[in-house]
């Protein structure tokens, strides 16, 4: 499974950072650290995280839709 989904294992809050890390070949903690560092900059980081949480399917739903 190579798509963008929230994995069952490795979740801390919602699995968004773990899913992004798996999709782009980065470690989950690397993506989490980048997300935390980006919070010091002005912008809609929290809104983007919440939007990804809502839009990214969980691993079970993603696997059910794959052939």
Q: For residue 21, is pLDDT > 70? A: yes
Q: 10 or 1: whose pLDDT is higher?
A: 10
Q: Pull the structure tokens for residue 67.
A: 């052939």
Do the domain assignments include residue 46? Answer: yes
What's the domain range around 39?
16-65
pLDDT, tens only, 28-45: 999 999 999 998 999 999
Q: Is 49 exposed, middle or buried (0-12, 13-18, 19+ CB in 10 A)?
A: middle
* Per-residue b or e along 2-23, where b marks 16 or more CB atoms closer than 10 Å to that residue's CB: eebbbbeeebeebbbbbbbbbb
Do the domain assignments include residue 52? Answer: yes
Residue 47 is predicted with a pLDDT of 93
Residue 1 is predicted with a pLDDT of 57
Count of domains observed in the chain: 1
Do the domain assignments include residue 1? Answer: no
């Amino acid at each position: 499974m190579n798509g963008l989904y929230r994995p069952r294992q490795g979740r801390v809050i919602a699995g968004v950072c773990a899913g992004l890390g798996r999709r782009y070949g980065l470690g989950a903690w690397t993506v989490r650290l980048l997300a935390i560092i980006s919070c010091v900059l002005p912008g809609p980081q929290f809104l983007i995280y919440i939007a990804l949480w809502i839009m990214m399917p969980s691993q079970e739903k993603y696997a059910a839709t794959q052939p």
